[in-house]
Amino acid sequence: MGDTLNILGEVFLNTISHWWIILPTIFVGLIVGGIPGFSAANTIIILMPLTLAMDLETGLIFMVTLYASSRMGAGIPAILVNIPGTAGAAATPLDGYPMSKAGKGQQALAMSFVASSLGGLLTTVIALATMPLLARVGFYMHSVEMIVVMLFGISLIAAIAAQDMLKGLIAGFLGLMIGSIGTDVIYATPRGTFGFLELYDGVPLIPALVGLFAVSEAFVIIEKRVILSEDGEVAMKTPNWRDTFEGVRMAFARWVHVIWTSLIGLAIGVIPGAGASIASFVAYQQSRTYSKTPELYGTGHPEGLIAPESANNGVTSGTLVPLLVLGIPGGATAAIMLIVMQFHGVNFGPGLFEDNPQVGYGMFMAMMIAYLFMILTILPLSRYMSRVTTVPTIYLAPMIIAFTLVGSFVPREYMFDMYLALAFGVIGYIARRTGYHVAAILIGVILGPLLETYFMRALRISEGDVMVLFSSTLGNILWVCLVLTLTLPLVFDWRRKRKEILGK
């Protein structure tokens, strides 16, 4: 124990001595995360020659810091202008953007920064302490278990549909239908592609994301003078530091909420291929399910903002666990880290932490220090970032469309993707104008293809036996949890109405 603490102390001092690369990388990550289409993985690939030229420790600190800060950066445009920077921030605008429109963008940003930092710090410490145990989660999470995890996220459609059952279900099924476009996972037969080769790999996520949220929102706000409501304009006329501290207080007051939603992110993060988008939707759905005030979600509720932000930052430390212990990358960014580490001759496995502790422990230590630096450097900026909402829409809307169309082009470099983003923008605009929820459509687009892949894989392994879905002990436990998740809100609602009747 004493030797481990000495090693961790040395690693901490060594990592913090790299402040000169951590600080600028934090701001690069914020910019990268805030622009749709530009992710940490894309940026690291572009800077790969530079990363390989660095010594191993410096290169890993750079990549880990960029990864963590880009996660936080993705929530900034999601809150201010309803543009999720990445799929992991797709649930953030559900409550973050209504807060901004009400003139509470400063509080929302401060709350997001604190929740992200606390969630990232907590899960990094837990991942470091329980790494061997967490690494085994990947062995137990097979196709059957992943199907149930996906259904947790998709069941958020049902929560959205509670406001208008028919419209919510129509939007969700439309998203699932759009998500099925492409070649099927068994025979690679094209379906719904209309002859476009660009759709054979399925509907690209970034054009769908920016079209449904950003472009459609730009079409909506151009009809108004500013994003803010009338009350919001009054609230934003006198900027002050009090709002920032109010957001910090609101986040710390919900520290229990931050802890358990970030743990959801950590658990999903250690599953290779799961990702932040699943974690944020599941965390939001679970937060709403067990809330005493579920009807406030979607109207600017603080817990609805905290849940996805703490969860998607909890994923970051989770993805490092299978990478370091098993040599299996948990996501695209972790896969690039794997390449860099292999280039420097690093051997993966439990022995890494004994043979090369500066690498094994150093990556988690770099993430901890990055989150500490982020809360100190970014939090004061929330006052100035929130002023974006006061920009007249005649300037803001064209800028949103221009940036998001460029972001749609970047991942695959197809002009087709820019046209696709505009098409999704029209769909999103019509949905907003007719009372359909674009978030329900996006959930189907993101999670539908993943659900189909795991479902077909399970059927192939079982030779077509549907009962394979109930063949796993862990899977059956998750099924029970899913049923409880869907039924408990009905029970809570019945009890609440009964108390109101008895109270009268």
pLDDT reported for residue 118: 93
pLDDT reported for residue 309: 94
Report pTM.
0.88
How far is 258 from 298, CA to CA, in rounded Å? 18
C-alpha R_g of the chain: 22
pLDDT reported for residue 304: 93
Range of the domain at 386: 2-503
pLDDT reported for residue 439: 87
pLDDT reported for residue 322: 83
pLDDT reported for residue 44: 79
Cα dihedral sign, 70-246-308-224 = negative
Q: What is the 3-state secondary structure (H, E, C) of 195-253?
A: CCHHHCCCCCHHHHHHHHHHHHHHHHHCCCCCCCCHHHHHHHCCCCHHHHHHHHHHHHH
Going residue by residue through the chain (504 aa), what tens digit of pLDDT does each one get? 557 778 788 888 888 998 999 999 999 888 888 777 677 777 877 777 778 788 888 888 999 999 999 888 888 888 988 888 788 888 999 999 999 988 888 999 999 999 999 999 999 999 888 876 776 766 677 888 888 888 888 888 877 766 677 788 888 889 989 999 998 887 788 988 888 889 998 999 889 988 998 899 888 888 887 787 767 777 676 767 888 899 999 999 999 999 999 999 998 888 876 778 888 988 998 898 888 888 889 889 999 999 999 999 999 888 888 888 777 777 778 888 888 888 878 877 667 777 777 788 888 899 999 999 998 888 888 888 888 888 888 888 888 888 888 888 888 889 999 999 999 999 999 999 998 888 889 888 988 888 888 888 898 888 888 888 988 888 899 899 888 887 877 777 778 777 777 765
pLDDT reported for residue 135: 67
Overall size of the chain counted in residues: 504
Letter string b/e over residues 390-400, b meaning 16 or more CB atoms within 10 A of that residue's CB: beebeebbeeb
Cα dihedral sign, 349-123-374-47 = positive
Reduce the DSSP state of residue 478 to 3 states and report it.
helix
Amino acid at 77: P
How far is 119 from 22, CA to CA, in rounded Å? 19
Counting the structural domains of the chain, the total is 1
pLDDT reported for residue 254: 92
pLDDT reported for residue 382: 85
Dump the DSSP string for 140-155. H--HHHHHHHHHHHHT
Q: What is the largest CA-CA distance in the chain?
A: 73
